[in-house]
Copies of this chain bind each other. A is one copy, B any other.
Amino acid sequence: MADDATLNTLMPGQLLGRGVCRHLASHGFACVEELVPTRGLRVDVMALGPKDEVWIVECKSSRADFMSDGKWQGYLEWCDRYFWAVDAEFPTDLLPEGTGLIIADAYDAEILTMGPETRLAPARRKVMMRKFAFHAARRLQTLRDPGAALSL
């Protein structure tokens, strides 16, 4: 089955990301994975909503994965809402106050706590929408046309 073949190529965090993207798509969001908002930062999932909402979701597959992340506060200024995505076994007491929580597996996800909203300034929202559009289109082109040799 194609689905299982895909599963085997993904890391634990990417499996959570897959479920997150499926769930957010069902709410009318479009998602990309591994987007770079600015040099040195790479977000696991950026989701663009039907009202141009910008959400960032960081996927943590284990306590160690979470504890080693010293960059997450740097993501807050690039989104309207910030979430963690973890599996059902994750010790959620570890997670900081004032962030959203999504419980995910490779197949679906559920928003348990909505991340508090801090609206982006219009200029930054526009920047993020452009980054999202370019990221998605370039990745798509490399999959459709592997010979295109784009610089991503």
Interface residues of A (CB under 8 A from B): 2-3, 6, 18, 21-22, 25, 30-33, 48, 52, 129-130, 132-134, 136-141, 143-148, 150
Contacts and interface: CB of A to CB of B under 8 A. Distances in A.
A22 B151 CA distance: 11
A107 B3 CA distance: 32
Given A52-B130, A129-B129, A130-B129, A140 B145 contact: no
A130 B52 CA distance: 8
Contact of A137 (B2, B48, B143, B145): B48
B147 A48 contact: no
Given A6-B146, A130-B129, A141 B48 contact: no
Contacts of A129: 129-130, 133
Interface-central residue, A2, A3, A133, by most chain B CB under 10 Å: A133
B147 A3 contact: yes
Contacts of A138: 25, 30
26 contacts: A2-B146, A2-B147, A3-B146, A3-B147, A6-B145, A6-B146, A6-B147, A18-B144, A21-B141, A22-B148, A25-B138, A25-B141, A25-B148, A30-B137, A32-B140, A33-B144, A48-B130, A48-B134, A52-B130, A129-B130, A129-B133, A132-B133, A132-B137, A136-B136, A136-B137, A140-B143
